[in-house]
Amino acid sequence: MNIKHLTLYKFFAPILVGVIVIVLFFSMSNLYKNTAIEQERATHIERLAEIRAKIEGSLNGATNLTMGLIAHIRVTGSIEPSLFENLSNELLIDNPLIRNITLAPQNIIQYVFPLENNEAALGLDLLNHPLQGAATRTILETQQPILAGPFELAQGGVAVIHRVPIYIKEGSEKRYWGLMSTPIDFSELIEKAGLNDPNLDLWVSLRSTADPSKVFYGQAGLFSEPEVFITQVSILNGSWDIAAVPKVPYGHSASNLVLGAKIAGLVFGLITGFLTFQLIATTEKLHHSQQRYQNLAQHDGLTGLPNRSMFQELYRSAIARAQRKKYQVALLFMDLNKFKQVNDEFGHQVGDVVLKEVANRFRQATRGSDAVMRIGGDEFILLLEDIKERSGVQCVAEKIIESLREPIEIEGYKHYVGVSIGIALYPQDGQSFQELISAGDKAMYTAKREGKTDIYWYSDSSHGRS
């Protein structure tokens, strides 16, 4: 190598190395920024999943709460005003989201509880109402319960209306009795979902999936934002779209760090090591966030039990196996006794601890192949497969009851709760998931009402024999 070549090498080599270092460092910096953006997106996806789960949980709790009242009317064909008031009062105490309970024989509201501040609803013709008539007609056509709204109520406020058609069985026919309506306070629903939290770092909007022009919470323009993330909230007869956009643009929190890292590019070793560490850590956090998001989407946030979505998948798989192998499947609908007293006297925090312990005891009392689900509030469902004899199911139900014999001790206090169990069998008591739940629910309420036993079989009731 001559002098000329050596000079050129000494001149260009540092430049070449410098350019390589700068390009490499800038590439690593940009990669870090993109990974940070993905981490922020994963965090926001997780947060949106929590909001969605809270909305679905609140709606499920409110809609399932009135099944006993409906079952009474289906069985008796009527209801005394005093009994309606007593039952409604208990239901409203259990779930403050429900503003009132109305019964509309032949679609005319004749029963309202509480009556105070709701007088304007009496006599309302739901079928011909300008806002609620369409939903009423849909119920009559489909004969299925629906969630409609949100609507502005005649007595003030905004609510999502849960309506259930009530049919009375007369021999092989069924006669339409009327509707039960429960306005679910939309403002309280939004509050419980955490959308009013000043620390929430997302802008959120809600709209009807079936009619995207109906945006009933937040700004309509949010759905067309470039950084929007959209998922769906499952409701009885459809779904809502929920959109979220970060209040601070993605990557903003990492911008200063990236700029500083580029300026400090000459300190190659230190910065490269730092970025590599950050890359691994951020990728791991992203993976954990995705796993947690998937777990949140399939499990109850309080007890860790499967939620309704995952349980329905387990049910479908169990039914497929039962059909192939020609055996029965049992569904146990379980409702805690005396749990309300614990909540009222010691507060919801203690109540949550009790629910967690109850879930643990249910797990211990059942086989690993049995599926336990918390359906909402203090109600649980247990699915048993490979049922050959009734005695086997009875034995499991007795183990469940026995598991709660011992008190649950929290901070020196012993809390006693029991459980009433309604049992329904596939296929004779119901074919679909909802039919089997309804049968189990009716059997459970019979056990509570008669008080002679904590276990009641749907097939032993007039429903099961009809």
Q: Is-catalytic flag, 344?
A: no
Q: Rounded distance, CA 102 to CA 188, Å?
A: 19
Q: Rounded distance, CA 372 to CA 366, Å?
A: 9
Q: Which of 185, 378, 429, 454 is catalytic?
A: 378
Backbone angles phi, psi at 200, to 5 degrees: -65, 125
**Residues belonging to the active site:** 378
